[in-house]
Amino acid sequence: MNIEFIVTYIAKGLLLFISMILYIYLFSSVIPNFIMKLRVKGENTCDRGLKRFTYPNGRCVLYETELSVREYVSSYALYTEDGYKYIKCKAAPYVSALRYDIYAFNVNNKLIDVIGVSEVLGKDCYTESVALPPETSYVRFVLRRADDKYYSNSILLGYSPVRYVVCATVIALATALEGTLIYVLAKDILFNALRIKIQLASVTGMIFAILGIALTVAGLTVLAYRRNVKKVINK
């Protein structure tokens, strides 16, 4: 086995390894962070603002909660302090424990974070301050539980049909490309380097196999994201 032979297979193996890392990165980062980010389905409105305060190291806006939860949590304050954003809620005097979700949105009405909070309240009836993402423009307060009373309030989250199509297309193309690379690169590494005498499938058969795998992976990924929507809504 000469040096050129070894270098060729090392180069092919390295290229195959890099392509697989990029393929995994597509699923772990690109798709969830850029393509399939949850959005609020239907009309999304901000709660009614009551007061606005300005002080030396920040500012604060007081909001009124929805009527259905106002008997337990009457209002919440979004405030900025030293460049950081927080939320603090005011509960009724007779409430001792709360569980609630904070849906944070940016200036473009895009959901950027969902923060779940459970806490036991002190005598002052105020919750602890909860840090918000820096790009938060407004929030939606969703009460889940007040003492022994449970709420089924939720914000309907989901993905637009266009995003499903884009996601499926990107995954199908990426899987087809990865499958082609594996076929082109790995067949020499496995069949020649290991001296395994196996009859390779025809080019046409491999094309259909790769396309079938690509469409299957795309379909399963889309179904996984649809299941994720139901889990978020029903959590």
What does the pLDDT look like over 59-114, one tens digit per residue? Answer: 888 998 888 888 889 899 999 988 899 999 999 888 889 999 898 888 877 778 88
Q: What's the CATH code of the domain at 117? A: 2.60.40
Q: Is residue 43 part of a domain?
A: no
Question: Which of 129, 155, 181 lies at the terminal end of a domain, its last residue?
Answer: 155
Long-range Cβ contacts of 227-234 (<8 Å, 24+ apart): 229/38, 229/157, 229/158, 229/159, 232/38, 232/114, 232/157, 233/154, 233/156, 233/157, 234/154
pLDDT per residue as tens digits for the range 119-130: 998 888 889 999
Same domain flag for 57 and 118: yes
Same domain flag for 95 and 187: no
Same domain flag for 22 and 77: no
- Owning domain of residue 23: 3-38+159-233
Same domain flag for 59 and 139: yes
Same domain flag for 114 and 66: yes
Same domain flag for 151 and 194: no
pTM of the model: 0.57
Predicted pLDDT of residue 55: 79
> What's the domain count of the chain?
2
Question: Which of 155, 171, 206 lies at the terminal end of a domain, its last residue?
Answer: 155
Question: Which of 155, 184, 214 lies at the terminal end of a domain, its last residue?
Answer: 155
Same domain flag for 106 and 182: no
Phi-psi region at 82: left, alpha or beta (left = phi > 0; alpha = psi -120 to 50): left
User: How does the average pLDDT of the chain come out, rounded?
Assistant: 77
